[in-house]
Structure 1
Amino acid sequence: MKARDKRQGIVLVNTGEGKGKSSSAFGVTFRAAGWGMKVCVIQFIKGKWKTGEERAAKAFDNIEWHALGDGFTWDTRNPEQDIKTSREIWELCKEKVLSHEFDMVVFDEINYCASYGWIAGSEIADFIRDEKPKWMHLILTGRDAPDEVIEVADTVTEMRMVKHAFESDIPATQGIEF
């Protein structure tokens, strides 16, 4: 693994309507962990959901995993609570980045929070530009990535849905969606 002082950190954004944004981020998470990098994953929406990727991460001593949030925010009955929770998670994100403990940090589904107006895209972009260590890799996922975040990113991938099993009344499937 390249020493931090010789590494250029990359900011990746996975966005769009299609499936695979978080899955892609977790693939990179396990790749980095396989190279001995220390990784922190912070999930904004998953809450108490049990997922295969979180279970797999427990096999690694160099992945720290935080499944937070109040569940699927588009079904919310308490937007004030969702805003409060999102802001608390955002503070944890900043704390983990500024700790310099991790080589890579994943902000899973943060783009949703920005698109709902709970965390300003400019606030996220300013933090990345001004506070993120130059050697640290950062991944942000979720639909509707803010323009400001796209601008500061090094790599942006937009997932486009062509077809989805859900359209055929096939529910979220263990091993595929979670």
Structure 2
Amino acid sequence: MKTRDRRQGVVLVHTGEGKGKSSSAFGMVFRAAGWDMKVCVIQFIKGQWQTGEQKAAQRFDNIEWHAMGDGFTWDTKNPEQDIKTSREIWEFSKQKILSEEFDLVLLDEINYCCGYGWISGEEIAEFIQNDKPSWLHLIMTGRNAAPEVIDVAHTVTEMTPIKHAFQAGIKAEQGVEF
């Protein structure tokens, strides 16, 4: 593994309407963990429901996992609480990044928070440019990535749906969707 002083931290954004944003990021989480990198996963929306990725991560001693948030938000009854929770998770995320304890940090579904206007893209981009350790890899997922975040990222991938099982009446399946 490259030492931190020889590593260029890469900022990645996975966005778009299609499936696979978080799944791709989790693949990178396990890849980094396999190289003995210290990894931190912070989920902004998921809340407390268990996923296969989280269960798998428990088998690694170098992955720290934080499923936070109040759950799915598209039918929220309390937007003020969603804003408060998102802001708290963002502050927590910044502290984890600044701790210099981790080699890779995943901010899963943070882009949704920008899309809803709960955290500004400008604020995130400014933090990345000015405060993120230069050697730290950072992945941000979710629809509606802010233009400012896209501008500061090194790699941006937009997932585009062509066909989805849900359109054929197939509900979320364990092992595929969660």
The TM-score with structure 1 as length reference comes to 0.99
Matches within 5 A, 1:1-178: 1-178=1-178
CA deviation vs aligned residue, 1:54-110 (integer Å, no higher than 9, x gap):
000000000000001100010211111111000000011100000000000000000
Q: Shift of residue 169 of structure 1?
A: 1.8
CA distance in structure 1 between the partners assigned to 2:169 and 2:39 by the alignment: 36
| Residue-by-residue CA offset, 1:100-121 (whole Å, 9 max, x unaligned) | 0000000000000001000000
Large movers: runs of 4+ above 2 Å: none
Deviation of 1:48 after TM superposition, in Å, equals 1.3
Give the aligned residue type for 1:50.
Answer: Q
Q: Distance in 2 between matches of 1:130 and 1:40?
A: 20
In structure 1, C-alpha distance between the alignment counterparts of 2:11 and 2:87, rounded to whole Å: 21
* CA-based RMSD: 0.5
Q: What secondary structure sits across from 2:83 in the alignment?
A: helix
| Amino acid of the structure 1 residue aligned with 2:127 | F
Identical residues among aligned pairs (%): 73
One-letter amino acid of the counterpart of residue 83, structure 1: I
How many residues matched?
178
Q: C-alpha distance in 2, partners of 1:67/1:173?
A: 20
Q: C-alpha separation between the residues in 2 aligned to 1:169 and 1:50?
A: 23
Q: Matched residue of 2:100: which SS?
A: coil
TM-superposed deviation, 1:126: 0.3
Q: Which runs of 5+ in 1 are unaligned?
A: none
